[in-house]
């Protein structure tokens, strides 16, 4: 029997749909050319679940599509091609940037190849991967680190709730697990 918090006002189970805040745990691995998947690259089970506002592309499109209509406690396993995840790798997405313009992630103190950083562009802050580091400049790749990869996810839906009017207006989750203004 479903818990009362898992039911809508008409006593039907709450399902993932537009304007719902969804919390889920996940594991992520890359899929090899033979179809097998390697070790887990990321997972949330040791910490807090991921929270997102459904229908606002706050997670990759293939994952949002697969979660549509799911309920609390449901699990899915899904393999996403690059077009459904972080997109194909774009050629020519590397650029030389002065080191003083790179912002390292919290906890990182030194720039080295493979570092994740951010740089201010005319389109706002963009995440980059450092490819090569020189004395004054670094070559960075503007592709997402998972672009061009086929990904395998295991997902467990933990909670679903109605989004607030403010969350809908801003297009993202507020409060615990979300954005703080």
Ramachandran assignment for 159, one of left (phi > 0), alpha (psi -120 to 50 degrees), beta (any other)? beta
Its domain, for residue 108, covers 94-141
For 107-158, what is each residue's pLDDT tens digit? 777 889 988 899 988 888 888 999 999 999 999 999 998 999 999 999 999 9
74 and 100 part of one domain: no
44 and 75 part of one domain: yes
For 33-88, what is each residue's pLDDT tens digit? 999 998 999 999 999 999 999 999 999 999 999 999 999 999 999 999 999 999 99
Q: What does pTM read for this prediction?
A: 0.80
Residue 100, domain CATH: 2.40.10
* Phi, psi values for residue 107, rounded to 5°: 100, -20
79 and 153 part of one domain: yes
62 and 109 part of one domain: no
H helix or E strand, kind and range, residue 120: strand 116-121
Residue 27, domain CATH: 3.10.50.40
Beta bridge partners of 29: 152
Pairing of strands 103-104, 151-162: unpaired
């Amino acid at each position: 029997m479903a818990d009362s918090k898992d039911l809508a006002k008409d006593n039907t189970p709450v399902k993932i749909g537009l304007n719902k805040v969804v919390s889920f745990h996940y594991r992520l691995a890359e899929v090899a050319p033979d179809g097998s998947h390697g070790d887990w690259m990321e997972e949330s089970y040791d910490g807090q679940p991921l929270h997102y506002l459904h229908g606002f592309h706050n997670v990759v499109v293939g994952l949002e599509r697969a979660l549509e209509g799911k309920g609390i406690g449901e699990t899915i396993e899904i393999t996403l091609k690059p077009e459904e995840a972080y997109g194909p790798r774009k050629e020519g997405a590397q650029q030389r940037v002065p080191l003083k313009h790179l912002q390292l992630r919290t906890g990182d103190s030194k720039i080295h190849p493979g570092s994740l950083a951010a740089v201010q562009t005319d389109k706002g802050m963009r995440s980059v991967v450092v490819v090569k580091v020189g004395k004054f400049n670094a070559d960075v790749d503007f592709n997402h680190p998972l672009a061009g990869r086929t990904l395998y996810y295991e997902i467990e839906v933990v909670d679903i709730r109605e989004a607030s009017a403010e969350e809908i207006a801003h297009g993202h989750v507020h409060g615990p697990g979300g954005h703080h203004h």
